[in-house]
Amino acid sequence: MILACLVLLAGTTLGVILSNDPQDAGPAPGLRPASPDEVATVNDSGTSTDGEQSTGAQSTGEQFAVGEAQIDERSEPGEGASSDGPAVALAEQVPDPTVPQYPAPTVSEEPVVAVAEALSPSVVLVEVDAQIGFGLGSGIVWDADDGYIVTNQHVVEGVEMVTVYLSDGTRLDGEVVGGSSGHDVAVVRVDPEAAELVAATFAPASSVRVGQLAVAIGSPLGLTGTVTAGIVSAVRIQVQGGSDPNSPVPVEMIQTDAAINRGNSGGALADWQGRVIGMNTMIQTTTGGSIGLGFAVPSDTVDLIASRIIKGESLELGYLGISGQAGEGDDVGVVVAEVLPGSPAAEAGLEAGDVIISLGDEPMYDIAELSAAIKLRRPGETVELTIRRGDDLYVATAVLDALG
């Protein structure tokens, strides 16, 4: 079982924008030449003419069957996310929370203290029958009006009921609504009338910057309301993500050096404004405890999957049907090594040797990054891939299938 102190291997790179709802049916699968405007856009981005990666993402060169993908949306929190959570009074004038504010404005008090006071009421202890499941974990109040709490799937794996303790000690019975092992996100529901719930505010993942303050709040080893602080160390693809070790899923994670240990799983990683930027999920370790390599599922991914769970929507993972690797030199993008017969990629007209430059509007630099992006989309969704074949650019339209 994956938990907050398992040793996992980290991959690299950043993710892509995803919508919270299924995309409308688009054009039929197939390949067409890129329009002059699309060619100009690619040339302006620099991805087709030089070897630099504008996002700073690194390439692993590893191969995966795409349709083995997942990851974060770079947009506003989707339907179901709370926007009424506590605000942190760090400056006289509160900036627009949807717009990244860097360099950060001058704060009027200790920022970690302010974050802890604002967000701690929204972070809970989740207790599971230790004979069946994980034992102890954390959770974040996601929707106070309806009693929804988000946590990690590995915390509630195999159980239908849990016990939830609020920061003031209030004990509540919680029902596991559902969860995604591919994304390691689950939803628990408590009676919203039984206690005064305080919903957290979730920040868009696009606001996250490497080097910014990161405050972790949770219940390591059952120590409720523990606060640790550090920075955002990186944003990486965890090649062995999800909560099923037998079916690893590339998952985008926010890396932090804030101390995270067993029991922090499902708790909050917050920015200096007290907004949740991620759900603490796992660590890399050589000792069994924190060595400053913690990983959190980004806020947008948590919001997206929680919304699907609550709405009873499919949690199947999208499948494209290629293998490949990061390009080298001038081949910036994902070089297709194989296209599986009968796959969505084959129907879209992709061929071995094609270089995938972008998925929609987002540049792709690495097979794990592309895999993660595809896997967060659902079967039946239509995607457009900009590819380079020789000296020509094409747009391939693919309708994703179900992985498995």
**Residues carrying an active site annotation:** 154, 184, 265
Phi-psi sector, 120: left (phi>0), alpha (psi -120 to 50), beta: alpha
Per-residue tokens: 107: 């704060």
What backbone torsions phi and psi does residue 118 show, to the nearest 5 degrees?
-80, -40
Q: Is 91 exposed, middle or buried (0-12, 13-18, 19+ CB in 10 A)?
A: middle
CB atoms within 10 A of CB 331: 16
Whether 372 and 352 have beta carbons less than 8 Å apart is answered as no
Which of 328, 389, 366, 364 minimizes the C-alpha distance to 51? 328
Per-residue tokens: 135: 């034992």
Q: How far is 49 from 63, CA to CA, in rounded Å? A: 24
Give, in order, the Cα–Cα distances in Å from 184 to each of 150, 266, 325.
10, 9, 26
3-state secondary structure 250-264: EEEEEEECCCCCCCC
3 state SS of 166: coil
Which of 323, 345, 352 minimizes the C-alpha distance to 401? 345
Q: Is 363 exposed, middle or buried (0-12, 13-18, 19+ CB in 10 A)?
A: buried
Q: Which residues share a beta bridge with 217?
A: 227, 268
Q: Residue 302 corresponds to which amino acid?
A: V
Q: How far is 147 from 130, CA to CA, in rounded Å? A: 24
Residue-wise over 196-225: b if at least 16 C-beta within 10 A, else e? ebbbbbbbbbbbbbeebbbbbbbbbeeebb
Q: How far is 241 from 278, CA to CA, in rounded Å? A: 15
What backbone torsions phi and psi does residue 179 show, to the nearest 5 degrees?
-165, 165
Q: Residue 241 corresponds to which amino acid?
A: G
